[in-house]
Amino acid sequence: MKITILTQFPEMFPGVLEASMLGRAQQGGLLEIKTVNIRDYTKDKHRRTDDAPFGGGAGMVMSPQPAFDALRACGAEGKRIIYMSPRGRLLDQELAQELAAEEEFFVLCGHYEGIDERIIEAWNMEEVSIGDYVLTGGELAAMVMIDCACRFVPGVLGSEVSLEEESIYSGLLEYPHYTKPRNFEGYEVPQVLVEGNHKLIRLWQFEQALRITARRRPDMLAAFLESPRKFSKDEKKIIDEILRETQGIEAEKQR
Ligand code: ADE
């Protein structure tokens, strides 16, 4: 997969995208992530890439000329181009998977108050937000989105098992994890995990994932239980017990 990032701050990217999994995947040829400095394309004699907004108001707006020329120079015509923006489609696992299936896409990072709307329109850009808050620029948002999408590119995680496991539990928050030693300063690892009964371990993990989701994200739990997934008899027993408990807590709160 090839990703081209258009930004005024290319120096922000290497530390994040060249470390760890994404760095390895780039070295191994699974990913190619390139940054393009929009400022290199400005025709302004002071190298400016922005200007005051028509209609007045605070802040500066990214001018069309450097962005158009940078996009043309890197061959973005007709390609999927994402503009990072708090008014965009919210990034989630589904969008990340969709991007991971692309052979190539482009990402534009804005700054200041925003970018000239004609850049978005003329290049048919999709806007993507990473959450309902405003960052100083699109770079951090682009890193989050790219990191999240690249996890779904086959081979990037090294082992596909993690993704497979994730999909079993998709829609639930993660169950707790433990490693050696079994006893650390008096804190024990749950007994079931060290006894080696894989069926019981899976059920315990399922129960923990359900419990943590019920407590922290009841909206996610409701959606998970409505999904077409088939549950085993043991899983159903766990679900019923947790629902009884949470309904009991709700009733208690009402009183
Ligand atoms: N740029 C500024 N804030 C952002 C956000 N929340 N998501 C995506 N891009 C942004």
78 alpha carbon to ligand 1 midpoint, in Å? 24
- Name the residue of 8, 9, 85, 107 whose CB sits within 8 Å of the most ligand 1 atoms, as the mutation to test its pocket: 85
Q: Would you mind telling me the total number of residues written for the chain in this entry?
A: 255
Residue whose CA is at the smallest distance from ligand 1 atom 7: 129
| pLDDT, tens digit, 9 for 90 and up, residues 159-171 | 766 676 676 678 9
Q: For the domain that residue 67 is a member of, what is the CATH number?
A: 3.40.1280.10
Q: Are strands 104-108 and 183-184 parallel, antiparallel or unpaired?
A: unpaired
Q: At CA 182, angle to CA 177 and CA 188, rounded to 5?
A: 80
What pLDDT sits at residue 248? Answer: 80
- Both 113 and 191 in one domain: the answer is no
Mean pLDDT of 4-8: 98
Last residue of a domain, one of 106, 124, 159: 159
- Both 154 and 201 in one domain: the answer is no
What pLDDT sits at residue 110? Answer: 95
What pLDDT sits at residue 254? Answer: 81
Last residue of a domain, one of 127, 159, 191: 159
Last residue of a domain, one of 144, 159, 174: 159
Q: State the average pLDDT for the chain.
A: 94
| pLDDT, tens digit, 9 for 90 and up, residues 31-79 | 999 999 999 999 999 999 999 999 999 999 999 999 999 999 999 999 9
Q: How far apart are CA 70 and CA 202, in angstroms?
A: 51
Quote the domain boundaries for residue 234.
183-254
Q: For the domain that residue 187 is a member of, what is the CATH number?
A: 1.10.1270.20
- Which of ligand 1's atoms lies nearest the C-alpha of 134? 3
217 alpha carbon to ligand 1 midpoint, in Å? 24
Spatial strand order of the sheet with 104-108 comes to 32-37, 2-7, 104-108, 81-90, 126-129
Pick from 114, 113, 149, 144: nearest CA to 129: 144
Question: Which runs of E-coded beta strand occur in 118-180?
Answer: 126-129
What pLDDT sits at residue 112? Answer: 72
* pLDDT above 90: residue 178: yes
- Both 48 and 115 in one domain: the answer is yes
Position 158 confidence tier, pLDDT thresholds 50, 70, 90:
confident
Pick from 94, 100, 247, 117: nearest CA to 160: 100
Q: How far apart are CA 209 and CA 231, in angstroms?
A: 14
